[in-house]
Amino acid sequence: MRITGGIAKGQQLKLPKNCLVRPTTDRVREAIFSILSSLASDWSRGLDLYAGSGALGIEALSRSTEWVDFVDQEPRCCAIIKQNLEKVGLSQRAHIYCCSVAKALTFLNNEYDIIFMDPPYSDSTINNLVTQLANSKLIGAKSLIVISHASRSPLGHSYDELSLVKERRYGDTCISIYQKEVKP
């Protein structure tokens, strides 16, 4: 797995072994960032939930995001994220929280410009977590939430104040992008 753009383009990332991690393919990551570039230009602060190898957050850092917080509950994944950040020279622009996403949503208090969620396809709590995220102080007026999920498990068109703005399918992977509804 390689970084597809920015200052770390072409750098090979390590993947966690013996973990139930489904890395986002290079093709899908490239598509995500192509879509994002058409929706917003400023992603100074990012959050990578269910980070796995950290590929999405590292890709964002490579493409000029100033800071990314990574969250994964698996210690082996957290160690791989740290190694990947060090390898590409971006560890000074990130923090890794080794805990569950549900727990992280209770203590994180920054507003993020871009939030990635790439949960296991079998995670039945995803709708609840998106609702919890929608009602958190992590979402600002211009925040974009990118959720990777199984095509066979569609997400809702809205979660409280979050509305679906784009959706793309790539084989079994579906990318749903949400933004806060703009109130007149």
Strands 158-159 and 162-170: antiparallel
| pLDDT of 3 | 85
Tell me the two tokens of residue 52: 């796995």
| pLDDT of 20 | 60
Task: Give how far Cα 6 sits from Cα of 61, 163, 171, 173, Å.
Answer: 8, 29, 26, 24
| pLDDT of 146 | 94
Query: What count of other Cβ atoms lies within 10 Å of the Cβ of residue 8?
Result: 21
Q: Comparing C-alpha atoms, which of 37, 38, 69, 42 is closest to residue 142? A: 42
- Cα–Cα distance measured from residue 157 to residue 160, given in angstroms and rounded to the nearest whole number: 10
| pLDDT of 22 | 63
- Cα–Cα distance measured from residue 72 to residue 54, given in angstroms and rounded to the nearest whole number: 9
pLDDT along the chain (184 residues), means of 10: 84 76 74 85 90 93 94 95 96 97 93 92 83 91 90 87 91 90 59
* Helices 55-62 and 26-39: angle between axes, nearest 10 degrees: 50
Domains and CATH numbers, the chain: 26-180 (3.40.50.150)
For the purposes of burial, counting CB atoms within 10 Å of the CB of 65, is it exposed (0-12), middle (13-18) or buried (19 or more)?
buried
| pLDDT of 95 | 98
Q: What is the dihedral of CA 59, 69, 149, 101, to 10 degrees?
A: 160
